[in-house]
Homo-oligomer: A and B are copies of this chain.
Amino acid sequence: MSESRNVSYSFLGPTGTFTEAALTQVVEAQGKPWRAVNNVGEAFDDVVSGRSVAAMIAIENSVDGGVSATQDALASVPDLRIIGEYLVPVNFVLVARPGTALADVKIVNAHPVAYAQCRRWLESNLPHHGHLPASSNVAAAASLVESGQADAAIAPPGIEKHHDVVVLARSIGDNANAVTRFVLVSRTTTVPPRTGADKTSLIVELPEDRSGALLEMLEQFATRGVNLSLIQSRPIGDALGRYRFVIDADGHIHDERVADALLGLRRFSPQVIFLGSYPRADKQPIEFTSRYNDNVFIGARAWLRGLLGEPAV
């Protein structure tokens, strides 16, 4: 293991998962050792301990929403930084042991997130099935062969090349455009350079148990012209009704409007975790009105310094 120290990349295994597909998009990871891990905790532990230089983890998908295990781990493991995001189209097949017909299927083995993404297809085609949860999309198919508990499994396309299964149905996902968003997480404190098509990820705890607090938090962004592409509530866990919010804001910490919004959040919230600024996977430049340009912020500071009799910088 020592030779891979600080050069390997971790991902949620086994081989064949969508997470591995995301890692194939990372140029720097090619030709480096990859470590397949069992859960998000292990992935982050690799990063924190220095066993891996970075870990790829799923953070959101378009059908089931935020991946809460990832979001909660990012809120509790200190000193992590997101340095890139990657999108993987998500599709599913239903597979079974050779000789099984669709009409024979009573128990479907599937990772809960995959299961949620195929719910409508299953209700239409297998209305009386039972669900046996699996720990990964690949494990579901693999265990078909090893165990007799389930009759079929939900798996990624291509699984039949690696395991002795047959495909009963293709494209069983409820949304043909489904996509899962992955992030590459490391411990570096160097922020990737600003590209103009960036995203800033944050976790912000609300100060009090009242709806007004959320409204006030959103105003920190709105009054600086910063749009949000993700806002997800997560319970803090100590009492019902106490929340933190997982947020993706348009823009980069080197954008004046984003930096100023961070200042406002930090003053307002008992805890703000800066998870990083990084290029958007879709490379769409951020649009914002000219009144939130950098030079508007810089000009205002110069004006204030003038009023205070301070020297220009």
Contacts and interface: CB of A to CB of B under 8 A. Distances in A.
Interface of A: 38-39, 41, 60-66, 68-69, 72, 111-112, 116, 119, 123, 130-135, 143, 147, 149, 174-175, 177, 179, 181, 189-191, 207, 209-212, 214-216, 218-223, 226-235, 237-241, 243, 253-254, 259, 262-264, 266-268, 272, 274, 291-292, 296-297, 299-301, 303-304, 307-309
A133 B133 contact: yes
Contacts of A177: 238-239
Contacts of A272: 303
Most chain B CB neighbours (cut-off 10 Å) among A119, A240, A292 = A240
Contacts of A209: 229
Contact of A119 (B41, B149, B296): B41
A133 B112 contact: yes
A142 to B, nearest CB: 12
Contacts of A149: 143, 147
Number of copies of this chain that the complex holds: 4
What 9 A-B pairs have minimum CB-CB distances, sorted nearest first? Answer: A133-B133, A211-B228, A266-B300, A65-B235, A215-B218, A263-B300, A62-B240, A63-B237, A267-B300
Contacts of A134: 133
Contacts of A189: 309
Identify whether the interface residues of A are mostly helix, strand, loop, or mixed: mixed
A223 B220 contact: yes
B130 A133 contact: no
Given A174-B237, A235-B65, A267-B291, A135 B135 contact: no
B69 A68 contact: no
Given A211-B221, A267-B297, A309-B189, A64 B60 contact: no
Given A112-B133, A309-B190, A227 B211 contact: yes
A235 B63 contact: yes
A299 to B, nearest CB: 8
Given A69-B116, A191-B308, A231-B214, A268 B240 contact: no
Nearest to A211: B228
Given A130-B38, A223-B220, A267 B296 contact: yes
Given A62-B239, A130-B135, A149-B147, A210 B227 contact: yes
A131 B235 contact: no
Contact of A64 (B147, B235, B291): B235
Contacts of A228: 210-211, 214
Contacts of A215: 215, 218-219, 222
B65 A234 contact: yes
Contact of A133 (B64, B135, B191, B212): B135
Nearest to A178: B237
